[in-house]
Amino acid sequence: MSIKKHIPNIVTLGNLFCGTLATIYAVGGHFEMTALFVVLGIFLDFFDGFFARVLKVSGELGKQLDSLADMVTSGVVPGIVLFVLLGNNQQIPYEIDSEFKFSMGFPLLGLLITLSACYRLAKFNLDTRQSESFIGLPTPAMSLFIVSLPLVQMHSDIDFVKDLIGNNYFLIGITILFSFLMNSEFHLFSLKFKNYGVKENLFKYILILFSIILLITIEYLAVPVIIISYVILSMLKNMKKA
């Protein structure tokens, strides 16, 4: 039995492993470690498809494993992060102990993002239109946006931004907006390159260059700004095509 056909699935399971660790850290409110393992998981999520194409071992099993792993890293984790943030903003103490007690109520609204991610991933597996672009915001982009919020709140020097993330109405608005974007018919360009021509990849190059500048200048705040810029650039590209 050739081991090469198992390599992409092993990479996918690495994504799931990272997502599981991120879940543990998110429950404990350790947001920097949460973000680290989400980023590692998304990195592995990109490369499992790359290895499958290079090794020519794509299959239905890999497709299903990929969605299941993404459900944890880019579905469960951001929901828990929102749950904890909403509870912290309300100053609702919650405790994980042998009886698994936790605060119910308003913070549970953050889990809407988990349900929406699950729905999107299920639709994605059945949708044959998304070979060259995305229809709806990809779950990894949503996850990066959400897990960056507590880091921005901790490390940003801009009081307005910190106060915004500390506002539960803002967080609920973000939850509803991203739940909608993931399952909308809105087209977003893929970051995969078929060639490297400037004309064909102009919006990709703009996003990459803009992202590098933002990461150097505003650090953690760059992540949500990059995701928003990705959506805006996709809108501009759609308008140009129309």
**pLDDT tens digits, 177-228:** 999 999 999 999 988 777 788 888 899 999 999 999 999 999 999 999 999 9
CATH number of the domain where residue 149 is located = 1.20.120.1760
The pTM (predicted TM-score) of the whole model is: 0.90
- Residue 213 resides in a domain: no
- Residue 219 resides in a domain: no
- Residue 145 resides in a domain: yes
Number of domains in the chain: 1
What is the predicted pLDDT for the residue at 100?
46
- Residue 195 resides in a domain: no
- Residue 31 resides in a domain: yes
* CB-CB contact of 26 with 148 (8 Å): no
Q: Is the dihedral of CA 162, 168, 173, 178 positive or negative?
A: positive
- Residue 168 resides in a domain: yes
Q: Is 125 left (phi over 0), alpha (psi -120 to 50) or beta?
A: alpha
Instruction: Assign 98 a pLDDT band (cuts: 50, 70, 90).
Output: very low
- Residue 24 resides in a domain: yes
The residue range of the domain holding 24 is: 3-189
φ/ψ of 188, rounded to 5, equals -125, 140
**pLDDT tens digits, 141-166:** 999 999 999 999 999 999 999 999 99
- Residue 157 resides in a domain: yes
What is the predicted pLDDT for the residue at 165?
96
